[in-house]
Structure 1
Amino acid sequence: MYVIHLRYTGALAEIDEALDAHRLYLERQFEAGVFIIAGPKVPRDGGIILAAAIERDRLDAIIAEDPFSQQRLAHYDIIEFKATRLAPGMNLPQSL
């Protein structure tokens, strides 16, 4: 699994202009089962995405499709981890 930490590099006005396209991108990745959780940071200087266990090359290609990436509006820090514990009642996503 991956934690993807986005840090905005563009002005918030630029982020807002690209936000609808970014949300459509997120929706496609949720439907594909790649993204599990996503949301803005507080304060609003970036966001966090939790992604399923996939090949890193594939994840890099997916991130390159993000309008924020294409417009150079965000920097991405990617942390891979192996989920070994989960709160009761939750299920780990299967590897894709």
Structure 2
Amino acid sequence: MFLVQLVFSDEAGRAADLMDGHNQWLREGFADGAFLMAGSLQDRKGGAILAQAANRQEIEMRLAADPFVAEGVVKTEIIAFRPGKVDPRLEFLLAGD
């Protein structure tokens, strides 16, 4: 599992022009089952995604397809982690461990 932060760069002013493509990329990630949650960082600093992928390379390839990433509007930080404890409503996240 991966927590991905998409932090706006100095190119953040270009985000509006790329928003449709970014939203389409998010829809595809949810449709593929790779994205479990996505949302905005507070204070409009970017966004965050909870994602699942077989490995880091897979998530890096998916991120490279995001227009925000490809055009340098955001910088990414990828944090890999394995859920160990979850609220009962999220037990599906432990599947496969």
**% of aligned pairs identical?**
30
Letter in 1 for 2:78: I
**Aligned amino acid, residue 20 of structure 1:** D
Compared CA separation, residues 53 and 85, structure 1 to 2 (3 A): farther
CA-to-aligned-CA distance 1:21-80 (integer Å, 9 cap, x gap)? 101001001111111100111110111000014211111110100000111110000000
User: Partners in 2 of 1:69 and 1:93 — Cα distance?
Assistant: 29
Match of 1:50 in 2: 50
Unaligned runs of 5+ in 2: none
Distance in 2 between residues matched to 1:76 and 1:43, nearest whole Å:
17
TM-score, length of structure 2 as denominator length: 0.89
Mapping for residues 32-47 of structure 1, pairs under 5 Å? 32-47=32-47
Q: Distance in 2 between matches of 1:78 and 1:7?
A: 11
Indicate conservation of the 8 Å contact 1:52/1:93, yes or no: no
Aligned to 2:87: 87
Moved over 6 A (4+): none
Shift of 1:11: 2.8
User: Is there any run of 5+ residues in structure 1 with no aligned partner, and where?
Assistant: none
Cα distance in 2 between the residues matched to 1:11 and 1:26? 18
Rounded Cα–Cα distance in structure 1 between residues aligned with 2:44 and 2:95: 31
